[in-house]
Amino acid sequence: MITKLTRSPSVAAAILREGGVVAFPTETVYGLGANALDARSVRAIFRAKGRPRDNPLIVHVPSAEFVGQVAQRIPASARKLMEHFFPGPLTVIVPRHPGVPQEVTAGLDTVGVRCPRHHVAQEFLQACGCPVAAPSANRSGRPSPTTWQMALAELDGRIPCILKGGRAEIGLESTVVDCTGSRPVVLREGAVHLEQLRAVVPSVRTAAGGERHGPARSPGLKYRHYAPRPRVILVDGPRDVPVSEAARAAYIGIEARGFRRRPLRVKRCRAVSDYAKGLFSFFHQCERDGVGTIFCQRVPREGLGQALMDRLHRAAEPARTRKAERSF
């Protein structure tokens, strides 16, 4: 299959309406979309990504008014969060409308809904005229693409079209909040952080701790994510990069002075937001350069730092786990 590259939202939308899957930009990461109401198109997403069938997809809509097409009802907490954060980097989990195929939600009776604010995504979703199911546009288990070039490197020849946009402004995936229980639960941290959510719905809580042993509420969280091929190690700063490894190592962080020996590739970020925005494309470049180890500086767990630390920890999990779960 030849992968067509276009800057035209209407050209990309026409391919989607005919049943094709299309990679498209959003402000978080690039998504891999298909008509959410067409089970056959949705199955093509799972094939292109090599994604496990039990990991549900997020449905994208151009505005909050369309949520009723995919949700059976909208809980009060979801309604409030949508009012404040749509369009934007937030996904709410709500009860699934019976018209949404089981393939989208992996058999769950809930569905994740997101309304991105990126203008190209907005134009694309409007031109599609249907809800669009989309995971991140990477092969399963790999870091999410934040540029169209990364999406192409992941999926060239496996999908019919990539809608080109600029670099994703945020660079980390959306915050996912399950609004189906008595208290909303944050299932995945993202650019909309806990304090912001609580300012709107004070009862929002984190999933950490107590639920570890229960059934997985967000099936995706049990899979490896965000892992590049090089090993990832978290450090407190440049001094922690071992001299013996520097020649084949890369480093990314806020501080980039004081190395005992300068690594092959160094990326200094001016702020946590630049770090988040540049992280996955840095991983990608390091893979291309054949870097052996990527040292990543830890950041304080405040604001966007919560989501960034979450992704860094997942990327740094032992390679053993990585291999086992990549075989999906």
Q: Which residues bind ligand TXA (CB under 6 A)?
A: 26, 28-29, 31, 55-58, 91, 93, 105, 108, 110-112, 114, 134-136, 173-174, 176, 187-188, 217-221
Return the one option of ligand TXA, Mg ion, none that residue 77 interacts with (CB less than 5 to 8 A, by type): none
* Token pair for 166: 């600029």
Report the residue number whose CB is nearest to Mg ion: 136
Q: What's the per-residue H, E or C state across the chain?
A: CCCEEECCHHHHHHHHHCCCCEEECCCCCCEEEEECCCHHHHHHHHHHHCCCCCCCCEEECCCHHHHHHCECCCCHHHHHHHHHHCCCCEEEEEEECCCCCHHHHCCCCEEEEECCCCHHHHHHHHHHCCCEEECECCCCCCCCCCCHHHHHHHHCCCCCEEECCCCCCCCCCCEEEECCCCCCEEEECCCCCHHHHHHHCCCCEECCCHHHHCCCCCHHHHCCCCCCCCEEEEECCHHHCCHHHHHHEEEEECCCCCCCCCCCEEEECCCHHHHHHHHHHHHHHHHHCCCCEEEEECCCCCCHHHHHHHHHHHHCCCHHHHHHHHCC
**Could you tell me the smallest distance in angstroms from the CB atom of residue 143 to ligand TXA?**
11
Q: Does 110 bind Mg ion (CB under 5 A)?
A: no
**Could you tell me the smallest distance in angstroms from the CB atom of residue 188 to Mg ion?**
10
Return the one option of ligand TXA, Mg ion, none that residue 176 interacts with (CB less than 5 to 8 A, by type): ligand TXA
Return the one option of Mg ion, ligand TXA, none that residue 216 interacts with (CB less than 5 to 8 A, by type): none
Return the one option of Mg ion, ligand TXA, none that residue 23 interacts with (CB less than 5 to 8 A, by type): none
Report the residue number whose CB is nearest to ligand TXA: 220
**Could you tell me the smallest distance in angstroms from the CB atom of residue 113 to Mg ion?**
16
Closer CB to ligand TXA, residue 152 or residue 241? 152
User: Going by DSSP bridges, is the β-strand pair 58-60/31-35 parallel, antiparallel, or unpaired?
Assistant: unpaired
| Distance from C-alpha of 129 to C-alpha of 253, rounded to nearest angstrom | 42
Return the one option of Mg ion, ligand TXA, none that residue 55 interacts with (CB less than 5 to 8 A, by type): ligand TXA
Closer CB to ligand TXA, residue 169 or residue 240? 169
Closer CB to Mg ion, residue 136 or residue 293? 136
Return the one option of Mg ion, ligand TXA, none that residue 230 interacts with (CB less than 5 to 8 A, by type): none
Among 136, 147, 175, 293, binds Mg ion (CB under 5 A): 136
Closer CB to ligand TXA, residue 70 or residue 233? 70
Alpha-carbon distances of 104 from 41, 58, 67, 132, 269, rounded to whole Å: 10, 8, 15, 10, 37
Closer CB to ligand TXA, residue 220 or residue 238? 220
**Could you tell me the smallest distance in angstroms from the CB atom of residue 183 to Mg ion?**
26
| Distance from C-alpha of 200 to C-alpha of 80, rounded to nearest angstrom | 7
Return the one option of Mg ion, ligand TXA, none that residue 171 interacts with (CB less than 5 to 8 A, by type): none
Residues binding Mg ion: number (CB under 5 A): 1
| Distance from C-alpha of 261 to C-alpha of 256, rounded to nearest angstrom | 12
Closer CB to ligand TXA, residue 254 or residue 328? 328
Return the one option of Mg ion, ligand TXA, none that residue 37 interacts with (CB less than 5 to 8 A, by type): none
Closer CB to ligand TXA, residue 41 or residue 297? 41
**Residue ranges binding Mg ion (CB under 5 A):** 136
